[in-house]
Amino acid sequence: MNRRTALKVAAVAALSTTMASAYDKKLVVNTMDIKLKDPANPTKGEQKHSPEIKLGSKDAKGYTVVEVNIGQAGIIHPSTANHWIYEIELFADGKKVSTVSLEPEISRGYLATRVNLTNVKTLSAVSRCNLHGNYTASINV
């Protein structure tokens, strides 16, 4: 094996190791979109899964900090080996802004990014729980 081939083998081995550390997709057993029964009075379970979107400061280039926590009213969704938020997506007026993929236990349901909110009317976030499905929340900006 020459040096070039050895480097290729090492690169493929490193990539395989990285991919092997991702969560087991079989643990995602619920991909249904969940509608809140009474959006004005969410249950604790609904609050635990619903994104909470908060705006922070704007930088010199006009990008505003957007934070998404799962869930609301101080109720934090758990992150255990078999139950966690595996993905959060953020949309501005329906257009994708950011996606975060999360691992069980080591991370929990949180996304932060900077967004140019010029002409944006609504921010929406989707929280995906491996056991309880997909919850959406929106704010007007």
Nearer to Fe ion, 50 or 64 (CB): 50
Identify whether the C-beta of residue 84 lies closer than 8 Å to the C-beta of residue 46.
no
Nearer to Fe ion, 90 or 129 (CB): 129
Stretch 96-135 residues interacting with Fe ion (CB under 5 A):
129, 131-132
Residues 35-46, buried b or exposed e (16+ Cβ, 10 A)?
ebeeeeebeeeb
The least distance separating Fe ion from the CB of residue 60, rounded to whole angstroms, comes to 39
The least distance separating Fe ion from the CB of residue 26, rounded to whole angstroms, comes to 17
d(CA 89, CA 134): 10
The least distance separating Fe ion from the CB of residue 127, rounded to whole angstroms, comes to 9
Nearer to Fe ion, 42 or 132 (CB): 132
Per rule CB under 5 A, count of chain residues that contact Fe ion: 3
Nearer to Fe ion, 82 or 116 (CB): 82
Picking from 95, 36, 106, the residue whose alpha carbon sits closest to that of residue 71 is: 36
The least distance separating Fe ion from the CB of residue 66, rounded to whole angstroms, comes to 23
Identify whether the C-beta of residue 139 lies closer than 8 Å to the C-beta of residue 122.
yes
The least distance separating Fe ion from the CB of residue 133, rounded to whole angstroms, comes to 8
Nearer to Fe ion, 45 or 62 (CB): 45
Instruction: Starting at the earlier edge strand, list the strands of the sheet with 51-58.
Output: 51-58, 63-70, 110-116
Specify burial of residue 107 (Cβ count, 10 A radius: 0-12, 13-18, 19+).
Answer: middle
Applying CB under 5 A, the residues found at the interface with Fe ion are 129, 131-132
